[in-house]
């Protein structure tokens, strides 16, 4: 795993970039060659940037966007520190559990920013990419956006609360259907399920999302932040305890033989042979 004590983002190693423009903190996933695939280092940088945004009075709203043809295609399995080791299965499970809990803390710093977050989603928004988008307060999708939680197809549990957030937004039936099957959603269906608020043509996505962020930024900051806190306090009251159970479930699946089989099958382009162990 990465060094979680670092507080710097070296030039050339950015996974995300923050630019402040006219009251909007533009947070960009900036690894288009990797389809903005996510890693432990991405999580560390998200937490650092969230702390910067939180106390910056010049940021009235946040626009979460991505460079390239995909928003985020999921976890980067090739990233350094991706695998957690241990002397036994139990020690590895414990290390994964604490690692995922650490990640949840970084995600919470982002999801609970006082400033509202508007996500602009294009192309693939898979696995953790979908979960990241669901952490935003408002989601706007391009017509070519594709959403999915494919973790079960790889032998894994959903580990960042995406299924729980879908249950909150679309209902438990849809959360189970999507997470249990790994099926993909197009933007129109995602809008119908209330998982995105607006759908725009690909060429209009950036302008549409910026316009919404600007509309929020133009309103009274204390009122805007009060609205976000009040809604979140009502909607997310049970989420913390649920996320803890999610971390434990994910840790157990990440150390399973089924997970190794799932990744191996994906790489070999064959159907996985899961044995429940």
DSSP 75: B
DSSP three-state, residue 195 = coil
CB 118 within 8 A of CB 62: yes
Radius of gyration for the chain, computed over Cα atoms and rounded to the nearest angstrom: 18
User: Choosing from 11, 21, 151, 206, which is the catalytic residue?
Assistant: 151
Q: Phi, psi at residue 110, to the nearest 5°?
A: -75, -50
Which whole-number Å values give the CA distances from 140 to 3, 31, 229, in the listed order? Answer: 34, 21, 21
DSSP 15: S
Determine what percent of the chain falls in helix, strand and coil, rounding each to the nearest 5.
50, 15, 35
**How many Å from the N-terminal Cα to the C-terminal Cα in the chain?**
24
Among this protein's residues, is 202 annotated catalytic? no
Q: Decide if 131 is catalytic.
A: yes
Catalytic residue among 41, 131, 191, 236: 131
Q: CA 70, CA 49: separation in Å to the nearest integer?
A: 21
Q: Six-digit token pair at 181? A: 């099957």
d(CA 26, CA 4): 24
Residues 6+ apart with CB under 8 A from 133: 64, 71, 72, 119, 121, 125, 139, 147
Name the residues annotated as catalytic. 131, 151
């Amino acid at each position: 795993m990465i060094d979680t004590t670092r507080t710097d983002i070296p030039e050339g190693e950015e996974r995300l970039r923050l630019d402040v423009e006219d009251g909007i903190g533009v947070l960009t996933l900036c690894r288009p060659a990797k389809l903005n695939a996510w890693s432990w280092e991405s999580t560390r940088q998200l937490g650092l940037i969230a702390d910067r945004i939180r106390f910056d009075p010049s940021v009235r709203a946040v626009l979460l966007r991505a460079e390239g043809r995909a928003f985020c295609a999921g976890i980067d399995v090739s990233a350094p520190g991706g695998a957690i080791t241990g002397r036994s299965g139990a020690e590895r499970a414990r290390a994964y559990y604490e690692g995922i809990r650490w990640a949840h803390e970084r995600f919470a710093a982002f999801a609970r920013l006082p400033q509202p977050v508007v996500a602009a989603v294009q192309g693939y928004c898979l696995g953790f990419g979908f979960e990241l988008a669901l952490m935003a307060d408002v989601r706007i999708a391009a017509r070519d956006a594709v959403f999915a939680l494919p973790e079960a197809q790889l032998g894994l549990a959903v580990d960042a609360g995406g299924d729980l957030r879908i249950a909150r937004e679309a209902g438990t039936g849809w959360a189970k259907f999507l997470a249990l099957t790994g099926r993909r959603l197009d933007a129109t269906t995602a809008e119908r399920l209330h998982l995105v608020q607006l759908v725009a043509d690909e060429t209009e996505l950036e302008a549409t999302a910026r316009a919404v962020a600007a509309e929020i930024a133009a309103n009274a900051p204390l009122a805007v932040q009060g609205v976000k806190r009040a809604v979140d306090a009502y909607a997310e009251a049970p989420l913390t305890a649920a996320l803890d159970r999610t971390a434990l479930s994910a840790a157990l699946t990440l150390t399973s033989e089924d997970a190794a089989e799932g990744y191996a099958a994906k790489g070999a382009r064959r159907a996985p042979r899961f044995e429940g162990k």
